[in-house]
Structures are given as structure tokens and as C-alpha cells.
Homo-oligomer: A and B are copies of this chain.
Amino acid sequence: MTDPLAPAGPSSRRPVTLVIADDHPVVRHGLRSIFASSPDFAVLGEAADGPEAVALVTRLDPDVVLMDLRMPGGGGVEAIGELVRRDVRTRVLVLTTYDTDSDTVAAIEAGATGYLLKDTPRDDLFDATRAAAEGRTVLSPAITARLVSRMRAPANETLSARERDVLRLVAQGTSNREIAALLFISEATVKSHLTHIYGKLNAKDRAAAVATAYDRGILG
């Protein structure tokens, strides 16, 4: 994993330019000071939310933007999508505390080049950032493991929008009949959706479905 003899040309190449996007001042300071300790990187700027990050990246044109996923006022996923839409050359490296399935999948699908957890050690962070700058995909070991196990277990299907609607109401204690009324469909349809949800989430009943939905980040 950590190769001290890795051919990392410190002064040979131009430093990797960065923008940091995180709503936590503590984390921004931490990342800045970590990258300041190496001549291979140059932090061009910091943003505290999604829109700010998009504006900054567009203006500064960094090699990589380190982006937190959960930020107030337009989350990270929307920002990633916007950057992709603008077709910037900057690579997005998601760096977050959370590792729920929905976050991970959403970020990768939106176009992130990598996904790291904040407990990543300094050197691994350097490696990953360099890799991201070159367009290589990097994932935290924990994330990789879960995605792989996810692929292996077909129990990992995605809920449709309608199924999520139903599940959200179920989590509020709404009965099938009430759900039917609220969604303007018949009770039979609600039951049908629920049967599909149980199958997809591998849950035995509505309580278990709600629980695994929370575990996977679908709810809450």
C-alpha cells in the first residue's frame, strides 16, 4: 500500500493545484496545512458550500477539487453534476465522513473521480490526490470493499422513485390505505410496491425495510 520508494518527483513536475470545498472550517484548515507541507501541491482556494465551490473551480481551474458531500446550501452531489455539465477539466475527489451507499453511488454516478473517507492517512491522501489529478479513480479501501460486496450480493438493488415515496410514508407510520389515499393510487398498488421493496432490500416486513433503508442511507 505505502511504498516509500515510489517515484514521486517532487520538484520535477508542476505542483498539483487544488481547491478545497468543505463547510467545516476545521477540515479546511486541516487539508490546507496537510497539503502545505508538501511542495507537490498548491492550494488555490477554499469554498464553504456547493455553489461557492463551482464558482471557485470555474474561476481558478485547479487540477483537483477536494469536495465534501454534505454541505449546506446545495450539497456536493449537485455541485459535482454542475461541474460535469460545465465540462471543466478539474477532477473531483470526494472527501467525506460518511460512507452510506446512497452517497457513494450518487457521487460516483455524478462524475466524481474518487471517494475517500476523512480518516485517510496523510500519505494516502497525497497518493490519492495525485492519482485523481491524472484522472485515475481512487476509492477508500472501506468503500471499495462495500461496493464489491454490493456487486456480489444482488440484494443491492435500487429503489424506484415511487418505491421511495411509499417507504418514506411507511417510516412515518402511515398505513397502506392511507398511503394509497395520499399518493392517489389503490391499496393494491401500495402493497405491490411494498412487496418489491421487501425483495430489493431483503427485508421481512415494513419495520425491517425502514431499518435497512436507514442503514443504506436511503432514509434519514
Contact = CB atoms under 8 A, between A and B. Distances in A.
A31 B171 CA distance: 38
Given A28-B30, A30-B30, A31-B26, A209 B207 contact: yes
Interface in A170-220: 170-175, 203-211, 214-215, 219-220
Copies in the complex: 2
A216 to B, nearest CB: 10
Contacts of A120: 25-26
Contacts of A8: none
Interface in A146-165: none
Contacts of A209: 173, 207
Nearest to A23: B119
A191 to B, nearest CB: 14
Interface string A63-76: 00000000000000
A118 B172 CA distance: 30
Nearest to A215: B220
Interface residues of A, number: 39
Nearest to A97: B97
A136 interface: no
A122 interface: yes
Contacts of A118: 24, 26-27
6 contacts: A29-B33, A171-B210, A206-B206, A210-B214, A211-B214, A214-B219
Interface of A: 23-34, 95, 97, 118-122, 125, 170-175, 203-211, 214-215, 219-220
